[in-house]
Amino acid sequence: MKKISIILGLLVFITACSSDLDQSPSNIASSNSLTDFEGVLNAAYYYQLGTVTPMAIMGEFRSDNAVMDEAPYTEFDEYDNGLTAMEDQFFGPFYTAAYKSILSANNVIANSADATQVAEAKFLRALSYYKLVQVFGSTTINLLAEPSLTDTSVLVRKPASEVYNTVIIPDLTDAINVLDDTSSDGRASKFAAQSLLGKAYAAMGDYVNAEPHLAAVVNGAASAGISLKTNFGDIFGVENEVENSEIIFSTQIVSSVTDEYSPASDFWNWFVGDDSKSDFPVDPDLVAAFDASDANGGGTDLRRAVTLSEDGLTAIKFPKEGGQGAEHDWIEIRLADIILLYAETLNENGTPASTVLPLLDPIRSRAGLNSLTGTVTSQSDVRKAIADERRLELAFEGHRWFDLVRTNSVDAEMGLTIDSNYYLFPVPVSEILATDGVITQNAGY
């Protein structure tokens, strides 16, 4: 049965040891009495659940894909310091969940004698820090050890570049060297780690180092049973989650396992308009983007019917019918994402359009669209074509805002001049107060 190894394992472990996992870092040292760290590793997977809904909201509602209807949630479209009012619902739960996953991963890394467990834990630690850097920029990283809480200097935030170079990149490199190619439901694999490493380098603007890692995934995917689904709609929906060939890594969700969004992560709820704060979440600009894709692609973009309701007001990519809503896994990495990022990387590294654009053909053909090869030639036009493809392919999968920031295209795509301070999100005020200001707020908030 799907999800059984992680979900049942974490239920048993959390029931027995939840008080240990919820303690401060200095008390996690009680793990030295453990000899089997599978439960601790499952907890590191489990805590990713708490990052899902916040990342989905930040990635979509901050961008030109989705809008909020109700104040103060409309602050997502106002680009000032008003987002601090969202701490309890988004930034606080996200921050807590990410660091709980990190602390559980640290426990495994420091104590387990199982090399595969350690490699999976390093992947999860890197994933957590990758998300933290995307959301907050500079981040506390000295919790890699198990410091005494009396030494608050360890909580000082470190620049994003240091987080990448001292944690994310080394962790993923180690994971790649240990994990195998086999992708199983909910577990980290070599290709998941290699994909995330390529994404990390791209986020740093280092396309030269991103290229070989993304190439390894794209070129080696078939041998590992990873492939694009023939029909776009077959990627999504609870019935399509078991052994889905396109999904490289997902955070597994079942309604019976609660997180900060009890009974379970409710990103889908926001997208289908079941929350009064956003009854009609789809931004008309996204509808216009699908219209443009139809007009310029030589047909009807088949992704529209999977992504948007017929009236274009709500997002249905993760359907709620038949009780599916709270059972949806969150797709962290899938092959189409990596193919498009690889194409972007090649273009930024000066590869001719005639080599880059054919990479998009399987994705566009699946969407019922013509090839762009021969119609787009300049580097800037190829860059725009890939960005447009990513938007429509990955809409409501939490990528859009972070893509705009990564590619320095926020103002151009949003049609506004936005202070770069607001490319990031506010650090939870509760964390600042709890550390007497050792953890500082992001500029502008």
CA torsion sign for 94, 100, 106, 109 is negative
Joined together, the tokens standing for residue 187 give 């577990």
Whether the Cβ atoms of residue 221 and residue 214 lie closer than 8 Å to each other? no
Joined together, the tokens standing for residue 209 give 């180092």
> For residues 428 and 415, what is the distance between their CA atoms, to the nearest angstrom?
29
253: which residues sit within 8 A by CB, 6+ positions away? 49, 52, 264, 265, 326, 327, 328, 329, 330
Backbone angles phi, psi at 335, to 5 degrees: -60, -40
Q: 3-class DSSP state for residue 301?
A: coil
Joined together, the tokens standing for residue 310 give 């017929």
* Residue 184 maps to a domain: yes
pTM: 0.92
CA distances from 414 to 79, 81, 278, 325, 411 (A): 11, 18, 19, 30, 5
pLDDT computed for residue 43 by the predictor = 96
Region of poorest pLDDT, from 12-16, 87-91, 92-96, 127-131: 12-16
Question: How does pLDDT run across 67-126, given as a tens digit for each residue?
Answer: 999 999 999 999 999 999 899 999 999 999 999 999 999 999 999 999 999 999 999 999
The pLDDT-based confidence of 357 (bands split at 50, 70, 90) is very high
* Residue 372 maps to a domain: no
> For residues 216 and 209, what is the distance between their CA atoms, to the nearest angstrom?
12
The pLDDT-based confidence of 30 (bands split at 50, 70, 90) is very low
Joined together, the tokens standing for residue 298 give 């030589």
- What is the share, in percent, of the chain residues with pLDDT greater than 70? 89
Chain mean pLDDT for the chain: 90
* Residue 318 maps to a domain: yes
Amino acid at 352: P
* Residue 136 maps to a domain: yes
Give the structural domain span for 136: 4-74+84-284+312-335+394-434
Report which secondary-structure segment, H or E, holds 176: helix 169-178
Report which secondary-structure segment, H or E, holds 103: helix 92-111
Check which CATH number belongs to the domain holding 148 and give it: 1.25.40.390
The answer on pLDDT for 12 being more than 50 is no
Question: How does pLDDT run across 250-304, given as a tens digit for each residue?
Answer: 999 988 887 776 656 789 999 999 888 999 999 999 999 999 999 998 889 999 9
- 294-307: burial string, b at 16+ Cβ within 10 Å, e else: eeebeeebebbebb
* Residue 210 maps to a domain: yes
184: which residues sit within 8 A by CB, 6+ positions away? none
Among 273, 230, 315, 284, which Cα is nearest to 415's? 284
State the pairing for strand pair 330-334/247-251. antiparallel
- Mean pLDDT to the nearest integer, 240-245: 90
* Residue 307 maps to a domain: no
> For residues 177 and 43, what is the distance between their CA atoms, to the nearest angstrom?
23
The answer on pLDDT for 9 being more than 70 is no
CB atoms within 10 A of CB 317: 22
- What is the share, in percent, of the chain residues with pLDDT greater than 90? 78
Q: How many domains does the chain have?
A: 1
> For residues 307 and 249, what is the distance between their CA atoms, to the nearest angstrom?
20
Whether the Cβ atoms of residue 129 and residue 139 lie closer than 8 Å to each other? yes
> For residues 418 and 423, what is the distance between their CA atoms, to the nearest angstrom?
8
Amino acid at 188: A
